Amino acid sequence: MSPIDQAAMHLDVVSLEEVRDNKGYVKDLAKEFFAASGSINGAGKIRVLERWLTQLGVGWVLRVADEAGLGQSPPDAARLWSWALSEMNRFIKLVFHDTSCASLSIIWEEESAVMESKTQQVGSITEQVEFARFIQEAMVRMTSFIDFIIAAVNPICGLPGLYEKLDALLHVHDAVSNAVADLSCYALAGSTEFDRILSEMVSLLLQKEGETGEAIWRIMEEFWTRILQYVEGDNVFWRHPQGSSSIHYVILSLTSYIRLLYAHHRLVDQIVSEAASLGNYVTRIANNDPFATLTMEMTLLIQEKLAQKSLLFPTQSFRFLFLVNNSYFIWKELHELRVFKSNPLCKFESEFMRTYTTQKLWKVPDPTLRARLRNAIVERVAADYRKYLEVNSVSTPRITPQELEEMLQDLFEG
């Protein structure tokens, strides 16, 4: 059952549609919440909060201490949590919204105009403050899930655990960013109690948005470090001929990882750009798109590393089969992504490495013919490459023209 289906099941008792028709429901919960202030250890207040959060499908945020407490995988929990936060914001908008997105004080003044006495007016304002505080308390409890995901050490070892954590954090960050955008419309710089409450909500979510963004970058760095460690340390794989026809585990992990990043490309682009501006990420390819450069550099470097490691295969035929299979798999999985269309130089370097890796293994026995082929390719490819760099003022290409010419002299050795 999907997280959305689970949430729908939880909403059977009091659906959000019913809440729209009867806004007094949550106001009654707020009254009950503050009436329980005198309960032992605040247990009564917690029970009231749990009722609403459970109806939103996220009652577990009140007791999340480990993954077992989630009752589901972190990504599934994150999707459900994100949905609940968006529904909570939608409810806030239903209560506080007017067509001009004016301050809450105007809304409550319009409501108080129909009150029959000053006492009723005071009572109504107090009720609205309690209602806003109740929602704020629920949102504070919701953020405990963010803290858990950031701090959690996934029991799944290696790359799968990091992938799950990254997947969860990306969904949480998207949801928090949307909530900030929604509530900022209402959190005007006013002096009423309602303005202050919403401003506090926005400040809390902004803080969590920043913490989540920093955690995402840390996981991205760790994931890449693990990828390189797997490539360097996995020597057993190369000793077996059957490995030549399979897709290497690192390639499977890397392509899944890049596709996940591009599913949230706006967010990740912002995070990578910020890391580049702070000097935490230095690009090796001249490009004004740090995210596209990052993914391209990862793909090219892994292809180089695998080409080097494939020398451990017992025969050249096994090596050739492995490189062709894995190069094609990368192309098939990633060619539709924006990174491979956004920059001609990145695209050339990717295609060049793929072609170079393949044709270096081709055997041309006749040395004269081999030399003629090489010279013809160098004359055409290197010259155009050098011209492109000069015309576009690329001063720090990943592959210099001299390096490219030297690499082309390795072709057709077999």
User: Do 91 and 176 have their domain in common?
Assistant: yes
Q: Is residue 190 part of a domain?
A: yes
Give CA–CA dist 179/202, Å, rounded: 8
User: Do 268 and 299 have their domain in common?
Assistant: yes
* Number of Cβ atoms within 10 Å of the Cβ of 301: 18
Measured N-to-C along each axis, helices 118-142 and 24-35 cross at an angle, to the nearest 10 degrees, of 80
Give CA–CA dist 61/184, Å, rounded: 24
Least confident segment among 148-162, 248-262, 372-386: 148-162
Residue 270's contacts (CB-CB under 8 Å, 6 or more residues apart) are: 213
User: Do 269 and 150 have their domain in common?
Assistant: no
Three-state secondary structure call for residue 22: coil
User: Do 23 and 58 have their domain in common?
Assistant: yes
Which of these three, 351, 376, 395, is where a domain ends?
351
> Could you give the angle at the alpha carbon of 305 between the alpha carbons of 280 and 223, nearest 5°?
40
User: Do 144 and 165 have their domain in common?
Assistant: yes
Please name which of 173, 181, 176 lies closest in space to residue 212, comparing C-alpha atoms: 173
Using the predicted structure, report yes or no on whether residue 2 has a pLDDT greater than 70.
no
Give CA–CA dist 198/136, Å, rounded: 8
Structure confidence at residue 10 as a pLDDT band (50, 70, 90):
very low
Q: How many domains does the chain have?
A: 3
Structure-model confidence comparison of residues 401 and 349, the more confident one? 401
Residue 164: its pLDDT value, please? 92
Q: Is residue 65 part of a domain?
A: yes
Token look-up 């301050």 returns: 103
Which of 66-80, 207-221, 240-254, 342-356 reaches the highest mean pLDDT? 207-221
Q: Is residue 224 part of a domain?
A: no
User: Do 148 and 19 have their domain in common?
Assistant: yes
Virtual torsion, Cα 69, 64, 217, 307, nearest 10 deg: -10
Structure tokens at 152: 């959690």
Give CA–CA dist 141/73, Å, rounded: 20
Q: Is residue 219 part of a domain?
A: no
User: Do 175 and 73 have their domain in common?
Assistant: yes
Q: Is residue 240 part of a domain?
A: yes
**φ/ψ of residue 141, rounded to 5:** -65, -35
Domain housing 407: 362-414
Structure confidence at residue 79 as a pLDDT band (50, 70, 90):
very high
**φ/ψ of residue 240, rounded to 5:** -110, 125
User: Do 261 and 148 have their domain in common?
Assistant: no
Q: Which residues pair with 363 in a beta bridge?
A: 413
Q: Is residue 221 part of a domain?
A: no
User: Do 154 and 51 have their domain in common?
Assistant: yes
Q: Which residues pair with 413 in a beta bridge?
A: 363
User: Do 258 and 398 have their domain in common?
Assistant: no
Structure tokens at 162: 């990091």
> What residue type is assigned to position 179 of the chain?
A
Structure confidence at residue 11 as a pLDDT band (50, 70, 90):
very low
Residue 163 contacts residue 252 (beta carbons within 8 Å): no
pLDDT per position as a tens digit, 359-392: 777 778 888 888 888 888 888 888 888 888 888 7
Give CA–CA dist 100/281, Å, rounded: 43
Q: Is residue 368 part of a domain?
A: yes
User: Do 291 and 345 have their domain in common?
Assistant: yes
Residue 388: its pLDDT value, please? 85
Q: Is residue 168 part of a domain?
A: yes
Which of these three, 212, 245, 261, is where a domain ends?
212
pTM, 2 dp: 0.71
Q: What is the DSSP string of 295-342?
A: HHHHHHHHHHHHHHHGGGSSSHHHHHHHHHHHHHHHHHHHTTSTHHHH
Which of 168-177, 192-201, 234-243, 341-350 reaches the highest mean pLDDT? 168-177
Q: What is the DSSP string of 203-270?
A: HHHHHHHHHHHHHHHHHHHHHHHHHHHHHHH--SGGG-GGGGGSPPHHHHHHHHHHHHHHHTHHHHHH
Give CA–CA dist 271/169, Å, rounded: 13
Using the predicted structure, report yes or no on whether residue 340 has a pLDDT greater than 80.
no
Q: Which percentage of the chain shows pLDDT scores above 70?
A: 73
Which of these three, 351, 379, 405, is where a domain ends?
351
Structure confidence at residue 143 as a pLDDT band (50, 70, 90):
very high
User: Do 263 and 205 have their domain in common?
Assistant: no
Q: Mean pLDDT over all residues of the chain?
A: 77
